[in-house]
Structure 1
């Protein structure tokens, strides 16, 4: 199936080659020119040629897998309650953007051409519109006890499609006109409720560490301190 698509929140298994999950194989054809010492391309080589336009590519036989919930991840600032006696309860705003990355966490939003091919292939096969990059915002009540740290986590509904890349060259590359990349997988944020899975927001708290307690005592005594996620007290 051929295609064009908007890119967004797709996740592409490009670097899975190193894990043995994606392999490149030559397609049989009378016009191929086998050379015994000719090196074989990696899956990354072929997909780079797809992206650059050196090769003409299709994403064939897409199969949509069952939706699942992503790992929980922090979406809010972090609250440090340096009070010794009182809770901190507030309505906290949060935001969550699901971007594009491969299966080992490498961002691939620059691979727009590949993502366009995949999306049209899926749409043609399933008559289904896929979500691209997805951003969601909200507010949640968060209560943090004395000497505790609190934040908000969220998990996004995701969906995977598997298929096979086929690359065609006008002139032989690595001795062949046609190459395939098998075992490819693309992951996208899915609509809430897909296959009965639902986006989930939860509040989290934990006791302060010794160093955090010391910082409270020396710099923030009896204060409620709010810091961007990733920053510590």
Structure 2
């Protein structure tokens, strides 16, 4: 029992020392500088000779809705509009780095994410959606898409050829967000229409008749499934 207690005391002492070193390290280097050093030399750090990303958790969710395409004005008769809309999005990183650096890092991120989850990831992706809907006469309508998104959190393991402030290996903890074009069941497509006001009917349709009194309509063409996650969150930040 005495040996076990001594062992626990030793572990506690090591953890306390590691915590102190961690605090001191953070005064010298920040996460942005660490990630940047994976692709180029950084003052005080130099350039890492090896970086690898260890994904910990991937979450699929529905992003915020926004209008796509132009607004449709139906004068006199209903208008059926069909359109193909393409939305583009660049990878978002919770740790701010220069655009050129981020593009280089994404090659490291994507290789690990695709290997771990068997799922596509790239620095820049686009999503194409077919939308067909009807706008009633003397109404204004537009389409919105709340896209399927994926978020991956994990640890970038950064190795240097020589010790940097006492360590060969440092860690950064980015959270990455990107379109998920492979999981369209998590997106919502909607059409919103409303009757024109009298002034709009006159200016847009050259019609001064009484405006209809129908209320705003919101039609969901495709409703997203609830989000889901795989993997576990990282709970510690060790450095050697």
1:199 has 2:187 as partner: yes
14, 33, 38: which one aligns with 1:45: 33
Residue 217 of structure 1 aligns to a residue in which SS? helix
151, 176, 179: which one aligns with 1:186: 176
Q: TM-score, normalised by structure 2?
A: 0.58
Q: CA RMSD in A?
A: 3.8
* CA distance in structure 1 between the aligned counterparts of 2:132 and 2:165, rounded to whole angstroms: 59
Higher gyration radius (CA): 2
In structure 2, stretches of 5+ residues that fail to align are 1-17, 42-46, 208-240
* CA distance in structure 2 between the aligned counterparts of 1:99 and 1:109, rounded to whole angstroms: 12
1:221 has 2:206 as partner: yes
1:58 has 2:51 as partner: yes
Structure 1 pair 105–87 and aligned structure 2 pair: CA distance change class (3 A): farther
In structure 1, stretches of 5+ residues that fail to align are 1-27, 223-233
Count of matched residue positions in the alignment of Structure 1 and Structure 2: 181
Structure 1 pair 164–139 and aligned structure 2 pair: CA distance change class (3 A): closer
73, 77, 81: which one aligns with 2:66: 73
Superposed displacement of residue 116, structure 1: 0.9
* CA distance in structure 1 between the aligned counterparts of 2:25 and 2:82, rounded to whole angstroms: 66
Q: TM-score, normalised by structure 1?
A: 0.59
1:167 has 2:158 as partner: yes
The equivalent of 2:235 in structure 1 is none
1:135 has 2:126 as partner: yes
* CA distance in structure 1 between the aligned counterparts of 2:164 and 2:93, rounded to whole angstroms: 26
Deviations 1:85-106 (A, max 9, x none): 5433322332222332235999
Q: Is the contact made by 1:151 and 1:204 (CA closer than 8 Å) also made in structure 2?
A: yes
